[in-house]
Amino acid sequence: MVRSVAGVRLGVAQAGIKRAGHDDLVLVELAQGSHCVGLFTQNAFCAAPVRVAQEHLKQCDGSPEYWLINTGNANAGTGEAGLEAATATCATIAELGGCVPAAVLPFSTGVIGELLPTQSVLQALPQAFVQLQADGWDRAANAILTTDTRPKMATRRIDLDGREVTLTGMAKGAGMIRPDMATMLAFIATDAHLAPELLESLFRTAVEASFNRITVDGDTSTNDAAMLAATGASGVSVDAANPSAVQRFGEALDSLCLELAQSIVRDGEGATKFVEVLVAGGQDEDECLLVAYTIAHSPLVKTALFASDPNWGRLLAAIGRAGLDDLCVDEVAVYINNVLIAERGARAATYTEAQGQAAMDSDELVIRVELNRGTAVARVWTTDFSYDYVRINAEYRT
């Protein structure tokens, strides 16, 4: 059950951006005085709403009053006209909501390179205000989807010294997923009060271990954003003077972000398998991630996963081309769901094809690589490549 967050209301409207009669516009109202932090795409061709949201977040000193999210159109690759469209939507919300335009942050997802139908959005905004309600999370989570097949929501409720704090979030994303902060958006709110510096520190830690550790296809979107707002409406403060409360809040936030991130992977376009790539024994985390992503992004590995084919040679090839200096292949061991596949540069002496096939037949896999050259560990979550992935992306604009 998704729980509402005191100080947050959500409203949904239909702007007909992609098709008539479809929820495609979400307005999130944040209580005045809320603190907000955001992490955005590193794509150089970042979308107009990303640029406007980043600028407005600075101008309002991290205290926005509204988030506006539209689906069906990314408003990316649209030049000056795209910036004007994003700015116009913020200005209209400011007029309707009685705030300054800089207190509105816009977010878009959908097809790149198409102009946002600004007038249709502006005409739908009054209805979004009418629909504002504290328990609007479910409808909102459905309204922000594109090629997703299901909504993605998570809630945590924690006790801090006898007082209750709630965290709730929603996300969308199924393809063009490798955030680097996919087409990924995440919106999380809590009714706790946190100072901006602490809020940002905890969020960066949570995002780094969750949204920045998932990949469906290795493509970083132009529109990625992950947002966290703290309304303070519960009256509970989380601050450095109480390290235990900070730790418990951070653990809840980490867990919530990881659940949302993994739900994106599980709903990856055409995905039939959920795959954890675990690389251990590296000299540092960076080289573990280098190996993990090389495996996770390999089309040959991903198609073998779809076929449930224990083609361990493709795994060795990916590890070998990851670019690690002075890699001793005789020290590397590879496992699939705890079945030792390869060691000492060859098929493991204990391995049988029947064991490998039994492991690969599972819908959930752990590919574990032991480098045996250090103590660092890193995890990445990914999917296979299926026929449906090709079909979905081939037909995306048709």
Query: Is 372 found in the same domain as 237?
Result: no
pLDDT category, 175, cuts 50, 70, 90? low
Q: Dump strand ranges (E) for the chain.
A: 8-13, 25-30, 35-40, 66-73, 104-111, 152-160, 163-172, 185-190, 193-194, 225-230, 237-238, 274-282, 333-336, 339-343, 346-347, 364-370, 376-383
Per-residue pLDDT, 268: 78
For residue 114, is it within any domain? yes
Domain check: are 279 and 225 in the same one? no
* Residue-wise pLDDT tens digits, 106-164: 999 988 899 999 999 999 999 999 999 999 999 999 999 988 889 999 999 999 989 99
Residue among 55, 138, 39 nearest 104 (CA): 55
Q: Which two tokens stand for residue 33?
A: 């005085």
d(CA 10, CA 189): 12
| Residue whose tokens read 């026929």 | 387
Tell me how crowded residue 27 is: count the other CB atoms within 10 A of its CB.
26
The answer to whether residues 260 and 385 belong to one domain is no
Which residues make beta-bridge pairs with 35?
230
**Number of domains the chain is built from:** 2
Say which residues have a Cβ less than 8 Å from residue 370's Cβ, sequence separation at least 6: 280, 281, 332, 333, 334, 335
Tell whether 288 and 191 lie within a shared domain. no
Domain C-terminal end among 266, 295, 320: 266
Identify which of 187, 165, 149, 115 has the alpha carbon closest to the alpha carbon of residue 268: 149
| Within a domain: 203 | yes
Task: Check pLDDT > 80 for residue 242.
Answer: yes
If asked whether residues 50 and 22 sit together in one domain, one would say yes
The pLDDT of 179-204, averaged and rounded, is 87
> Do residues 261 and 283 share a domain?
no
299 vs 220, residue with greater confidence: 299
Q: What is the DSSP string of 134-193?
A: TT-HHHHHHHT-SS-SS-EEEEEEEEETTEEEEEEEEEE-SSS--------EEEEEESSE
- 340 forms beta bridges with 335
Give the tens place of pLDDT for each residue, 326-352.
999 999 999 999 999 999 999 999 999
| pTM recorded for the entire structure | 0.92
220/302 same-domain check: no
61, HSE (Cβ side, Cα atoms, 13 Å): 4
Residues 198, 310: one domain?
A: no
Tens of pLDDT, residue by residue over 38-48, are 999 888 889 99
Is the pLDDT at 254 greater than 80? The verdict is yes
Name 364's bridge partners: 274
The structure tokens listed for 211 are 């949204």
pLDDT 10s digits, 192-201: 999 999 999 9
| Structural domain includes residue 1 | no
**Lowest-pLDDT range of 145-154, 231-240, 387-396:** 387-396
User: Which of the listed residues 266, 284, 313 is the one where a domain comes to its end?
Assistant: 266
Q: Is residue 63 in a domain?
A: yes
pLDDT of 192-230, one tens digit each?
999 999 999 999 999 999 999 998 777 677 888 999 999
Over residues 260-289, mean pLDDT: 93
- The angle that helices 243-266 and 196-208 make with each other, rounded to 10 degrees, is 40
Query: Which of the four pLDDT bands, split at 50, 70 and 90, describes residue 233?
Result: very high
Tell me the catalytic residues.
183
Residue 90: how many CB atoms within 10 A of its CB? 25
Q: Is the dihedral of CA 271, 264, 254, 160 positive or negative?
A: negative
Backbone angles phi, psi at 244, to 5 degrees: -65, -40
pLDDT of 372: 97
237 and 340 co-located in one domain: no
Boundaries of domain holding 314: 274-394
Q: Of 239, 266, 293, which residue is a domain's last? A: 266
pLDDT, residue 183, reads 57
Please give the pLDDT value at position 389. 79
CB atoms within 10 A of CB 129: 16
Q: What was the pLDDT predicted at 182?
A: 43
Structure tokens at 208: 């780094």
Please check the confidence at residue 369 and state whether its pLDDT lies above 90: yes
**What pLDDT was estimated at residue 77?**
93
Q: Is the same domain home to 237 and 359?
A: no
Q: Which residue type, as a one-letter code, is found at position 247?
A: Q
DSSP 8-state code for residue 133: B
In a domain, 3, yes or no: no
In a domain, 254, yes or no: yes
Burial of 1 (0-12, 13-18, 19+ CB in 10 A): exposed
Other Cβ atoms within 10 Å of 396 Cβ, number? 15
Give the CATH number of the domain where residue 220 resides: 3.60.70.12
More confident residue, 283 or 267: 283
What CATH number corresponds to the domain at position 327?
A: 3.10.20.340
Whole-number Å distance between alpha carbons of 193 and 246: 11
- CA 101 to chain centroid, in Å, comes to 27
Q: Do 161 and 307 belong together in one domain?
A: no
The more confidently predicted of residues 282 and 41 is 282
Residue 184 in this model has a pLDDT that exceeds 80: yes
Q: What single string gives the DSSP state of each residue in 58-87?
A: HHTTT--SEEEEEEEE---S-HHHHHHHHH
Quote the pLDDT of residue 157: 97
Instruction: State whether 251 and 322 are in the same domain.
Output: no
